Chains A and B, each alone.
Chain A
Amino acid sequence: MTSTGTTDTDTTSAGTPPSQVPLVDYLVLGDDPHLLASECTACGARYFDRRNACASCFATEFTKVRIASEGTVRAFTIVAFAAPGVPVPFVSAVIDCDGTSVRGNLINVEPDPDHVHTGMRVRLTTYLLGTDDAGTEAIGFGFEPVEN
């Protein structure tokens, strides 16, 4: 499913970087991390999940398109109370990335209304989420403020 080299578990030799998997399959890792959407070839609607057909026009052909890695926060909330095991507080947001709406956390910013506001410019960034028993790293993504 992913091309992140999960077959080679012998990563202990010096100099070999640990293998990585993205948190979700629409996050592309590497030197230039970005998000990849499925775009309906008929109407241009974009989706991040596995598709059976297009919810907008019912067509079944999709191509992969790269999503702009910078965008504007259109909506946010600062979640202070979440399900067990979810660290709080965190900032959940909807980011307008050049016309495509993306859901993600705002990170590398103080999670309070003095530091987060709609209209702020943010860019995609990745972080280490955890390492499993095989030494494979899971990489998550979020959006951080763009300094003016």
Chain B
Amino acid sequence: MSASDEIWILGIHMTKFGKHFDKDLVDLGSEAILGALADAGVTMADIGILAAGNLMGSGGIGQQLQKQVGQTGIPVYNVSNACATGATALRTAIMAVKAGEVDMGLAVGVEKLAGAGLLGGGGSKKSDDNTWEPKGRYGAVASTDGRIGTDTMPGVFAQVGMEYLHNHAYGGAEFELFARISQKNHSHSTLNPLAAYTKEMSLEQIMGDIMIAYPNTRPMCSANCDGASAAVVVNGEKLKTLSLEQQRRAIKISASVLTTDPYQEACQVLPDVNTLTRNAAKQAYEQAGIGPDDLDLVELHDCFATAELVHYDNLMLCDEGGAVDFFESGAPWRDGRLPVNVSGGLQSKGHPISATGIANIWEVCQHVRGEGGPRQIEGAKVGLAHVIGLGSACGIHVLEKSAA
């Protein structure tokens, strides 16, 4: 691989996740961009392309941000890809750099979700006249949410976790198992000042909290909140022309993968979040020339406690079917063999949808740069960041310490 084929993160930033009542989307996105540019030691004048992710806003977030941080006439790609939106924005910038159209690109993801409530549920709509009228692709005369299963995210991912336990003949206490996964992430969050929630939670507190969709109680669900993240990417040739300090802090993107779900028997009945994640992981390990055993830490998409379990398996952090054993061994705790979600994960760090993809990468970068502060995983050299959006889309990036 020649230097021009290599892609590096030159600078990266995330805002604090939480409630930002005094800031709008543009404030948060600008903060992330300005932070990433400062971290990279470059300005908007160096940037050849902007990829901007936002899901719940009014559209055109990239141009709105340019009007605050610098209108240089570069192309903007506004992207939207469910919970994989941030990773998709980054991947878009990477593709432009990789294609040789530009030597430096910028990606940003921003969301305001504080107080958004439950996502995914449709609710019943009353028709104008009071007669049954078939509508939509199922010819439904009334809302199917709640009548033919659930459309809510906590419920969908609850079934994903329960299906995994069923398929692998788990005979233990399922509710407690998932609650203990959540306990780990809440414990990790106490070391992350940028997390929305940083409180240790006991098993009793987690299991005794409000039930959302069995077996997921409220602290086992990702927290709706506000936040933004951004990254500057550069090719290897350009990096060589930059300062030694920039080269030293640059992080190599040794894999960048985006997949969607290939057809499987049940995938249009219950979303299949497994196959596309496993496919993305396989591609990522191949691109990076490493295996799961080479990883020093993983940030995976624990949108619900039930989701984290299945992704241990999908990302091949354990033997097939061995996710429960992997967790029970203590491996994914921060002092374990392969720490998972040392940031606190989406359950405590929060999940401002479009910001999540780049924020997971930011966390890994902190550790491989040795800048993780109190929660630094000692000697971390390579890490993996994973996100998944229902629909579905899966983004995986493998990040490696600079050799310089």
Judged by a CB distance under 8 angstroms, whether A56 is at the interface is: yes
Judged by a CB distance under 8 angstroms, whether B114 is at the interface is: no
Would you give the 0/1 interface string for B136-160, flagging 1 where the beta carbon is closer than 8 Å to chain A? 0111111111111111101110111
Stretch at the interface among B123-131, B325-333, B357-365: B123-131
Give residues of chain B (139-191) contacting chain A, Cβ–Cβ below 8 Å: 139-152, 154-156, 158-160, 162-163, 165-167, 174-175
A86 and B142 CA atoms in complex are apart in Å by 11
- Looking at chain B's contact residues, the main secondary structure is loop
Would you give the 0/1 interface string for A111-138, flagging 1 where the beta carbon is closer than 8 Å to chain B? 0010000110000000001101110101
For A99, what are the chain B residues with a Cβ–Cβ distance below 8 Å? 265
- Decide if A77 touches B146 in the complex (CB within 8 Å): no
For A102, what are the chain B residues with a Cβ–Cβ distance below 8 Å? 269
Judged by a CB distance under 8 angstroms, whether B134 is at the interface is: yes
- Looking at chain A's contact residues, the main secondary structure is loop
Give residues of chain B (100-141) contacting chain A, Cβ–Cβ below 8 Å: 118, 121-124, 129-132, 134, 137-141
Judged by a CB distance under 8 angstroms, whether B211 is at the interface is: yes
- Decide if A21 touches B132 in the complex (CB within 8 Å): yes
- Decide if A74 touches B163 in the complex (CB within 8 Å): yes
**CB within 8 Å: A-B pair count:** 172
Q: Given A49-B268, A103-B269, A133-B130, decide whether A82 and B138 contact each other with a Cβ distance below 8 A.
A: no
- Decide if B146 touches A87 in the complex (CB within 8 Å): yes
Judged by a CB distance under 8 angstroms, whether B21 is at the interface is: no
Residues of A within 8 A of B (CB): 1-2, 21-26, 45, 47-50, 55-56, 74-88, 90, 92-94, 99-105, 113, 118-119, 129-130, 132-134, 136, 138, 140-141
Residues of B within 8 A of A (CB): 118, 121-124, 129-132, 134, 137-152, 154-156, 158-160, 162-163, 165-167, 174-175, 210-216, 263, 265-266, 268-270
Can you list 5 A-B contacts (CB < 8 A)? A23-B147, A79-B214, A85-B124, A86-B123, A86-B124
